[in-house]
Amino acid sequence: MTAVEPGTKRKRISKKNKSAWRKTDIQDVEQFLEDQRQEERIGTFADKKDEDLFVQDATPQKAKTTVLSVKQKRKLNAQKPMRSHQALENTSKVQDPIVKRNHVKQKKNGRNIELEVCNPTKPRHRQANSDRAVYYTKLEQRLEAKKSKKVVADKDIWQEVDFRDAIPGLKDKKGWISRDLALHTAGNIGKKVVKTHASLHHKTTRAKKFELPHPGMSYNPSPEDHQALIEQVVEREEGIIKKEQHLKRVTTSMFAKVTPEERDKRHLQEMSQGIEDEEEQENAEKDDDDKPYHTINAPVENKKKSKQARRNELKQKELQRQTELKRKLKQQTADLIRIKSIRHELDDEEEDLNDLKKRRKQRAEKAKFEPKRLGRHKFEEPDVDVNLPEDIAGNLRNVKTESSLLKDRFHLLQRNNMLPTTKAVSRKKAKVKKYVRNSHKEPGVSYQDLKERRKVAAAAAKVGTATIKI
Amino acid sequence: MRRPKKYESGEATQYISRRAALRKLQLSLNDFRRLCILKGVYPREPKHRRRAQKGSTEIKVLYHTKDIRFLLHESIVWTLRDYKIFAKKSSRDRAIKDFRNLKRRLALFPEIKLDHIVKERYPTFIDALKDLDDCLTLLFLFSTFPSLQLIPREQSNLCRRLTIEFLHYVIASKSLRKVFISIKGYYFQAEIKGQKVTWIVPHYYPFKPQSRQEVDFKVMSIFVEFYTIMLGFTNFRLFHGLNLAYPPQFPSSVLQDNEDTLKDEASFVSDRIAALNFELLRTDKVQEDEEELDIDMELLEQDGDSKRIIKMKQEAQEVARLRTLFKGLKFFINREVPREPLVIIIRSFGGKVSWDSSIYPGSAYDESDETITHQIVDRPSLGTQYISRDYIQPQWLFDCVNQRQLLPTNKYFLGEKLPPHLSPFVDSKRDTYIPPEEKALLDPSLIETHEQSDESEDEAEKEEEETVDQELLDAQLQLAYQEETAEYKKYGGVDGVNEDEEDLEDDDASDDDDDEEEELDEKAKRLKQEKQKMSVQSGKVHKVNKRQVHKAEVDEHRLQARMVKPRHRNLFRKLIREKQTKEKEEWLLRKKRRTIEADEKEARKTAKREARKEAAVAAAKAAKLGK
């Protein structure tokens, strides 16, 4: 496709093969054809008028370059047709060969609400208009109410109010409408009277709702009260320690400790348990080869009993039954003498049962005061708040507050069965590995640098001592 | 007949798991939690968990099916669903920056109305009062909070407002009964409509952040949301019961136009209201006096005087005295003392109070006011002091209220080591053993007799003359004070005493005058006769026949036992047994103490004797040496 330079001799090319023919330069022909097609599309220069071809330049030579802000540029760009739609634009000058087409009448996108508001034509438009008016009046009311400070309570809700008063038709002074009928009507009107069932008001725990403080919690307690409180705390703590020790005893310290070598040895032994067995088995099998073969699961044989055997069996059974009967009779006669001791036994048994009943009752009674198990976690009594003797200042200025009141309230709600006990779950953040880029690293100090520095320092010291000597 | 399947009846249908409840109510977990807290529906523990959970044994959160069905009717379920829609729409508006629409949406935010729920959960006003303990404590706590992530500032502001309103009621109705400073905070107990309402006010320290691992702030915030509404309605009712305007307002006489008031009237007024130092606007003109109580007591008198009625009368008298405990006293609170709890106490018992105007607005008078009777300080020493007033530590107020009388101030002076602050919630008249030290704290007369008896017995203790002198002085002071209180108790009020006495004297005088004028002679004669008859005889001590008294007691007890209904017999026996064991315990403890004290005394005596002997021996030796 390189243009042929004048003066250079054309190289003779063989035209033997089809591939050789391809090398022939047909550019001039194609150029000509292309020009012709273009003329067909946009017309020849000759056809065009001068005005079409040329434009009088009326603008001054150098137009002021206005600096547009980003926002203005965006605005201008927004006016342009979209880039993505450019491909759809018909740039061809070739006339549409099919003159008559079915023109699709374009529908307007969506409703023209303004039109509907201004001149409603349909009943639904009118409905919508009235709804809209209600909405906006409500909005205005709300905004006004927000401006003027609202009061939380503006009525006495505990005043006795009959639901019938709120519904105009149901007000009857003559007693013609029964209460049941009124209830029924109210439900059908859409103002149903909902009854609260009594179990909502039932207490689920017998424990006190608001715990009064222990006298030892005073900011300046008397020594006795304070001691009593501390004793309480100590008792609790001792209980916890005892439990911990018990757990340790039955778990960790139950197993003897071994040296690491011993452990490794045991591990090896355990891991190689099957291997040795197999070897032994193989050896055993080798030994067994001499003995006759025995199956492990021998087939079951259905051996029939002989008639005599059956008869004997029956006889034996009968005999056994009779001896048992005799034994029982004998026991009964013997028990006649034992009546007193039997009575004692029975009494003991009854006493035991009563004891059990009592204990169960006690446990049930105690459980009434304890928090219920509402969720996965068990409620654990929080620590008692106490000031240690050295923290008691004796005056209000230096009081050391011991507890968080919020935590206290939260635990109280849990203890009163109002909240299930929960444990806060914190989501673990993914660990981000941090490192400094090589390009940002500070140049480190090499061993050689340090050595040099030390030398310089030593030299300086020498000079210093020298001067002092002088 | 269809064969009944497993878990189609009984306990399995009584309970519903939380997940199932969520599905039934079509709410998210957060919304469900909120709904349950607002409606007072709490999870339940079944009797047989495996049965209730349809065979599964893991521990699930279960609710009563009935409760959940009850929630289905609730109108706020719809509001909660509207929240979801609101969040979606407003977030869309925000994303496309359609702020006009967003503003309109925000104005129409679907707000939850809880009035009917308050009424439903507390059918009567008394029910609400019974549940006020928790509510008040939580609101007092939240009123100290800054705006946190899950607790909006409006909420803590609202809490502050409502609690201040409640305190105004307590002050106006003079219903405060007990106060206590603990390491947790200040405990207050008021008696409102016969209900004891106790609450805790946290200590006034800077806000300490609470870790979110321990407390679920969201849940607490929901509780507070409900409690604010509840306290609002309670306050409304309480204020109207006292004929006070609600929300609280000032009478126009207090509000004078000056620069401060004109600048920002709303904040000026709210500051003064928060100061708790002014009377509020009343809806009626007449100041009501407390005469109702007296009438009630008179009516009771007709029923005769059983022990209970006597006790009630005493209680009523004490309360009446308590209500005017600080009347006529003028306090000044120093700047280092926590202002609010003290103002509540002083004002609710009729005292006048003020503070440095630079700490908080609403102070009534200056520190230099000469009519101030007590200044409350909490520092070891003070620069300028006025002679006309007592400088006391704040505990004095608390102890006075708890013992329902004005205590001598000498133990509470500036820089003095304070006596222990006892809890008023422990019944001082309980049946169990009370050590004499505690008794002495409650009734100072006991300690004095104790000391005196000691002195009389231990004649040898003459060496410690200085201390004895001091004790004597103290004892004298206390004796005088006791006499005062005794008089006070006898006649039930200072004013009453004087008037009665004067009246009596007047009557006597007038009678005398008449007699003298008309029948001088006759009277003289009579007098002479009487004089002759008159003679001074040695008085006889009225002897109480112990046996007879005991017999009467036993008889009464028997009668009581016979009167007990058969179904209450066990209970009666239990009570008697408890009483006996308590008495025995008390006796044992007292005996123990007696023996210990006797031993100690013996030891002291022997020690002294030995010391004397040694001294004698030493003296003898010295004499020998001298010779």
Question: What is the SS3 string spanning B197-229?
Answer: EEEEEECCCCCCCCCCCCCCHHHHHHHHHHHHH
Which A-chain residues 349-378 have CB contacts (< 8 A) with chain B? 372-376
Which B-chain residues 447-466 have CB contacts (< 8 A) with chain A? none
Calpha distance B233→A133 (Å, rounded) = 34
- Cα B163–Cα B164–Cα B168 angle in degrees, nearest 5: 115
Q: Summarize the confidence of residues B122-151 as an average pLDDT.
A: 92
Does A410 touch chain B if contact means CB atoms closer than 8 Å? yes
Does B48 touch chain A if contact means CB atoms closer than 8 Å? no
Q: Summarize the confidence of residues A375-394 as an average pLDDT.
A: 90
Calpha distance B150→B210 (Å, rounded) = 12
- Report which of B411, B334, B414 is spatially closest to residue B372, judged by C-alpha positions: B334
Strands B185-192 and B176-181: antiparallel
Which B-chain residues 399-418 have CB contacts (< 8 A) with chain A? 417-418
Cβ atoms within 10 Å of B122's Cβ, excluding its own: 22
* B453 close to B447: Cβ distance less than 8 angstroms: no
Rounded to the nearest 10°, the torsion over CA B224, B226, B231, B236 is 140
Calpha distance A297→A149 (Å, rounded) = 93
pLDDT at B260: 61
Which A-chain residues 55-84 have CB contacts (< 8 A) with chain B? none
Calpha distance B118→B116 (Å, rounded) = 5
Calpha distance B199→B230 (Å, rounded) = 16
pLDDT above 70 (res B466)? no
Nearest CA in chain B to A222: B420
Q: What is the pLDDT of residues B584-608, one digit of tens each?
A: 999 999 999 999 999 999 999 999 9
Name residue A361's amino acid. K
pLDDT at B124: 92
Q: Which chain A residues are closer than 8 Å to B215 by Cβ?
A: 404, 406-407, 410
Strands B330-333 and B352-355: parallel
Name residue B158's amino acid. L
Beta strands in B57-129 (DSSP E): 62-64
Of A218, A385, A400, nearest to B181 by CB-CB distance is A218
Cβ atoms within 10 Å of B360's Cβ, excluding its own: 18
Strand, helix or coil for residue A20: helix
Name residue A16's amino acid. K
**DSSP string of B571-615?**
HHHHHHHHHHHHHHHHHHHHHHHHHHHHHHHHHHHHHHHHHHHHH
pLDDT at A34: 94
Which A-chain residues 276-305 have CB contacts (< 8 A) with chain B? none
Does B78 touch chain A if contact means CB atoms closer than 8 Å? no
- The pair of three-digit structure tokens given for residue A107, joined into one six-digit string: 């529908």
Q: What is the pLDDT of residues A30-52, one digit of tens each?
A: 999 999 998 888 877 787 788 88
Domain borders along chain A are 113-147, 158-195, 226-285
Give phi and psi for B391, each to the nearest 5: -100, 110
| The length of chain A, given as a count of residues | 470
Of B45, B121, B423, nearest to A373 by CB-CB distance is B45
* B354 close to B364: Cβ distance less than 8 angstroms: yes
The pLDDT mean for chain B works out to 83
Calpha distance B595→B586 (Å, rounded) = 14
Name residue A38's amino acid. Q
Q: Which chain A residues are closer than 8 Å to B66 by Cβ?
A: 197, 199
Beta strands in A144-264 (DSSP E): none
Lowest average pLDDT, out of A247-251, A252-256, B39-43, B137-141, goes to A252-256
- Report which of A378, A424, A387, A375 is spatially closest to residue B211, judged by C-alpha positions: A424
pLDDT at B595: 93
Of A210, A221, A413, nearest to B133 by CB-CB distance is A210
Calpha distance A59→B420 (Å, rounded) = 102
ipTM: 0.73
Q: Summarize the confidence of residues B309-316 as an average pLDDT.
A: 84
Of A219, A376, A402, nearest to B181 by CB-CB distance is A219
Of B182, B213, B246, nearest to A217 by CB-CB distance is B182
Of B40, B210, B338, nearest to A200 by CB-CB distance is B40
Q: Which chain B residues are closer than 8 Å to A143 by Cβ?
A: 107
Q: Which chain B residues are closer than 8 Å to A401 by Cβ?
A: 183-185, 202-203, 205
Q: From the CA of A74, how many Å to the nearest CA of chain B?
A: 18
Question: What is the SS3 string spanning A206-228?
Answer: CCCCCCCCCHHHECCCCHHHHHH
Name residue B259's amino acid. E
Calpha distance A372→A246 (Å, rounded) = 26
Beta partners for residue A409, in sequence order: none
Lowest average pLDDT, out of A108-122, B104-118, B209-223, goes to A108-122
Question: What is the SS3 string spanning B522-579?
Answer: HHHHHHHHHHHHCCCCCCCCCCCCHHHHHHHHHHHHHHHHHHCCHHHHHHHHHHHHHH
Calpha distance B126→A196 (Å, rounded) = 18
Report the Cα–Cα distance between both ends of chain A, in Å, rounded. Answer: 94
The pLDDT mean for chain A works out to 86
Q: Which chain A residues are closer than 8 Å to B43 by Cβ?
A: 374-375, 417, 420
- The pair of three-digit structure tokens given for residue A227, joined into one six-digit string: 């001691």
Of B181 and B304, more confident: B181
Calpha distance B527→B254 (Å, rounded) = 66
Q: From the CA of A67, how many Å to the nearest CA of chain B?
A: 29
Nearest CA in chain B to A402: B183
pLDDT at B431: 61
Strand, helix or coil for residue A112: coil
Cβ atoms within 10 Å of B178's Cβ, excluding its own: 19
CB spacing of A422 vs B216 below 8 angstroms: yes
pLDDT at B309: 81
Q: What is the pLDDT of residues A312-343, one digit of tens each?
A: 999 999 999 999 999 999 999 988 888 999 99
CB spacing of B378 vs A397 below 8 angstroms: yes
Beta partners for residue B15, in sequence order: B64
Does A200 touch chain B if contact means CB atoms closer than 8 Å? yes
Q: From the CA of A119, how many Å to the nearest CA of chain B?
A: 25
Calpha distance B448→B427 (Å, rounded) = 23
Give phi and psi for B510, each to the nearest 5: -65, -40
Q: From the CA of B274, how many Å to the nearest CA of chain A?
A: 17
Q: Which chain B residues are closer than 8 Å to A420 by Cβ?
A: 43, 61
Which site among A137, A212, A214, A225 would you substitute to test the B interface, given the most B Cβ atoms closer than 10 Å to its Cβ?
A212
Q: Summarize the confidence of residues A163-179 as an average pLDDT.
A: 80
- Report which of B166, B161, B288 is spatially closest to residue B238, judged by C-alpha positions: B166
pLDDT at A397: 87
Of B440 and A380, more confident: A380
Burial track A364-397 (b if 16+ CB lie within 10 A, e otherwise): eeeeeeebbbbbeeebeeeebbbbeeeebebbbe
Q: Which chain A residues are closer than 8 Å to B394 by Cβ?
A: 396
Which A-chain residues 218-247 have CB contacts (< 8 A) with chain B? 218-225
Q: Summarize the confidence of residues B346-374 as an average pLDDT.
A: 91
pLDDT above 90 (res A55)? no
- The pair of three-digit structure tokens given for residue B390, joined into one six-digit string: 């007592």
Of B122, B203, B418, nearest to A395 by CB-CB distance is B418
CB spacing of B137 vs A397 below 8 angstroms: no
Tabulate helix, strand, coil % of chain A (nearest 5): 55, 0, 45
Which site among B148, B177, B183 would you substitute to test the A interface, given the most A Cβ atoms closer than 10 Å to its Cβ?
B183
* B434 close to A222: Cβ distance less than 8 angstroms: no
Calpha distance B244→B239 (Å, rounded) = 5
Distance of CA B122 to the CA centre of its chain: 24
Q: Is the pTM above the cut of 0.80?
A: no
Calpha distance B406→B150 (Å, rounded) = 46
| Full set of structural domains in chain B with CATH | 11-107 (no CATH), 115-206+216-254+261-285 (no CATH), 324-426 (3.40.50.10190), 432-457+475-488+577-603 (no CATH)
- The pair of three-digit structure tokens given for residue B34, joined into one six-digit string: 């909120």
pLDDT above 90 (res B469)? no
- Report which of B473, B472, B329 is spatially closest to residue B401, judged by C-alpha positions: B329
Which B-chain residues 15-44 have CB contacts (< 8 A) with chain A? 37, 40-44
Name residue A106's amino acid. Q
- The pair of three-digit structure tokens given for residue A168, joined into one six-digit string: 């105009």
pLDDT above 90 (res A230)? yes
Strand, helix or coil for residue B446: helix
CB pairs under 8 A between A and B: 211
Sheet order of strands, B185-192 included: B176-181, B185-192, B195-202
- Report which of A403, A93, A323 is spatially closest to residue B202, judged by C-alpha positions: A403
Nearest CA in chain B to A194: B73
Q: From the CA of B593, how many Å to the nearest CA of chain A?
A: 14
Distant-in-sequence, close-in-space partners of B624: CB < 8 Å, separation ≥ 6: none
Calpha distance B500→B494 (Å, rounded) = 10
Residue A281 pLDDT grade (very low, low, confident, very high; cuts 50, 70, 90): confident
Residue B300 pLDDT grade (very low, low, confident, very high; cuts 50, 70, 90): low
pLDDT at B262: 62
CB spacing of B184 vs A401 below 8 angstroms: yes
- The pair of three-digit structure tokens given for residue B358, joined into one six-digit string: 């630079």
Calpha distance A343→A366 (Å, rounded) = 34
Residue B511 pLDDT grade (very low, low, confident, very high; cuts 50, 70, 90): very low
Nearest CA in chain B to A152: B232
Q: From the CA of B595, how many Å to the nearest CA of chain A?
A: 20
Does A154 touch chain B if contact means CB atoms closer than 8 Å? yes
